[in-house]
Amino acid sequence: MENSTRAPRTLPYRFYYKWYSMVCAMAWLLCAGGFTLLFMRHGWGWHGEGREEMFSFAAMLLFIPALYLWWLHPKLTQTVQVYSDHVRVSTKDFSWEIAFNDILSVECPFHTMIRLKMKDGHSWWFSAALERSDYLWEGLMKARPELMGGPETYENFRLKLVQYDHHEKRKEWFFRHRLLDVVNWVVLPVLALAIGYQIQSEQVVINSKSLYFFRLSMYSLFVTIVCAFAWSVILKTFVFDKLVKKQMAEGNKLRDLVLEDRIIQRGKWLQVVSCALLLTVVVKSDLNLFSITKLRYEAKAFKLKPGKTIVIDNRFNCVDCAHAVNEGDILLFGRGTIGQVLALPGEVIAQTRNTSLGRSIASETVMEVPEGHIALKTGADGKEVVLVRIGDLVGKLKTP
C-alpha cells in the first residue's frame, strides 16, 4: 500500500467480463430468434404444441437483461481505488468514499468475498472479481489491524486472494497455445461428429441427421468444456497454488510467466488426450442416442402421468435392424405422442375411420399393416389404434 501522498491503487474489474457481455447479447438474440420462430410456426398464437418452449424463451428474454443489469453492468462500469485511509468506488457518474475509520467489522463469508460492515448499518461487498483485490485486504490491515482477526487469519485469506488473482489472470490465456487450442476446440469435435456418425450409422437408423449432429455436437462441446474446466482446477489446486504459497512464504508475489506457460501447455496436451478418450466413450456407449423428455399428456394405460420425466432410447426406431422394435414396446413418435407396438409390417389388424394421428383401426375391416408402417395403441386409455410411419418413430421409453 502507498502512503497518502502517492497515487492510489486502482482495482478494475477483470477484462474478460466484457466477453460475458457479448455472451449475454448472443444468448438474448438466440432466445429472441427462437421465440419468434415458434410464434411464426404456430400462427402467431400462444397455444398448442411448443407452448412450454415459448414460455421458456419468454422467461429468458427477461432474465438475461436482468442478469446483465444486476450482475454484469456494475463490473463493466465500476473501478475501486484503495487509499491509505479510505476506498473510493467510482462509476461514470457517481463515486462513493468508504472511510476505514467508519468500518464496524470486516467479514469473509464466502470463498473470496470481503464484506465491510459500516457503523451506519450499510455493507459494502468486494471480491476477487477485482484485479489484485489483495491490495484492498492489505490496506485494511494497515489501517484497521484490530478488525482482521489476527495475523494468521489475515495471511491465510491474503494467500487465497493472491492465488485466485493469478488463476483469474490465467483465464486470459485461454487461446494462448493456438495449435493445441485449435486441435482441442475444433479438430476433436469435428472428428467426433465424422467418426461417430460413421460408427453409429452402421448399427442405428438415423431418421433426422440434423437432430443427430446437433446432439452429438452438444456432447462434444460439453466434454470439451468439462475437460478444460477440470484441468484448470487441477492445475490451480495441485500446482499453481502450491507455487504461490511457496513464493508468498519467501515474500514474493510476482508470477513466473515462463514456468506457468510451460505448465499450461503440458496441461493442454493432457486435456486433448482426456477429451479424445471421453468422446470415444460417448460414441461407443451410444450416450448421444439417449434423450430426456417430459410427458405432456396422460397415458393411464401405460401408467404414465403428465409432467413425468422419462428417458428415451433413440436407437429403437426401426424394424429388422440391430435395435428393432418389438410387440409391446412403448414408443415415442410424432410430436410427443406415446403408443405401444401392436403389430409390425405384414401383420394383420382391422381398419376403420381416419384420425389426425393417422389411420385409426377398429374391428370393422381386416387389413395388413403396410410396409414402412407399424400399428400402435395410443390415447389416454390405450384403446385407440393408429398406423404410424416408421420414420416418425423417435425412440423407446425406458420405463422401470
Bridge partner residues of 105 (DSSP): 117
Task: Provide the mean pLDDT of the chain.
Answer: 87
Domain boundaries, the chain: 9-170, 174-284, 290-398
Q: Where are the alpha helices (DSSP H) in 257-350?
A: 257-284
> Best-predicted range by mean pLDDT among 107-116, 271-280, 359-368?
271-280
On the question of pLDDT at 4 being above 90, the answer is no
**Residue 11 to residue 15: CA distance in whole angstroms:** 11
Evaluate whether 9-170 and 290-398 have a shared fold: no
On the question of pLDDT at 3 being above 50, the answer is no
Write the pLDDT tens digit of every residue in 335-382: 778 888 999 998 887 655 545 444 545 445 677 888 999 999 887 677
Question: Is the Cβ–Cβ distance between 223 and 196 less than 8 Å?
Answer: no
55 vs 250: which has the higher pLDDT: 250
**Residue 138 to residue 159: CA distance in whole angstroms:** 11
- Cell numbers at residue 12, please? 478494475
* DSSP-derived 3-state class of residue 263: helix
Instruction: Check residue 2 and give its pLDDT.
Output: 41
* Helices (H) then strands (E): counts for the chain: 10, 18
Neighbours of 253 (CB within 10 A): 15
Instruction: Check residue 1 and give its pLDDT.
Output: 41
Write the pLDDT tens digit of every residue in 175-187: 899 999 999 999 9
Write the pLDDT tens digit of every residue in 283-316: 999 999 998 887 766 666 777 777 778 899 999 9
Instruction: Check residue 49 and give its pLDDT.
Output: 52
**Residue 74 to residue 17: CA distance in whole angstroms:** 10
On the question of pLDDT at 165 being above 80, the answer is yes
Percent of the chain scored above 90 by pLDDT?
59
On the question of pLDDT at 159 being above 50, the answer is yes
- CATH: 3.50.50.60, 1.10.8.190, 2.30.29.30, 2.40.160.60. Which one for 9-170? 2.30.29.30
- The Cα-based distances of 158 to 108, 112, 114, 164, 327 in angstroms read 11, 10, 11, 10, 67
**Residue 136 to residue 112: CA distance in whole angstroms:** 12
Beta strands in the chain (DSSP E): 9-12, 79-82, 86-90, 95-99, 103-107, 114-118, 123-126, 290-294, 309-313, 330-333, 337-343, 348-351, 354-355, 358-361, 365-368, 373-378, 384-389, 393-398
**Residue 330 to residue 324: CA distance in whole angstroms:** 13
Neighbours of 336 (CB within 10 A): 13
Architecture of domain 290-398: Ribbon (2.10)
Question: Is the Cβ–Cβ distance between 353 and 308 less than 8 Å?
Answer: no
Write the pLDDT tens digit of every residue in 213-246: 989 999 999 999 999 999 999 999 999 999 999 9
**Residue 194 to residue 105: CA distance in whole angstroms:** 59
On the question of pLDDT at 133 being above 80, the answer is yes
- This prediction has a pTM of 0.78
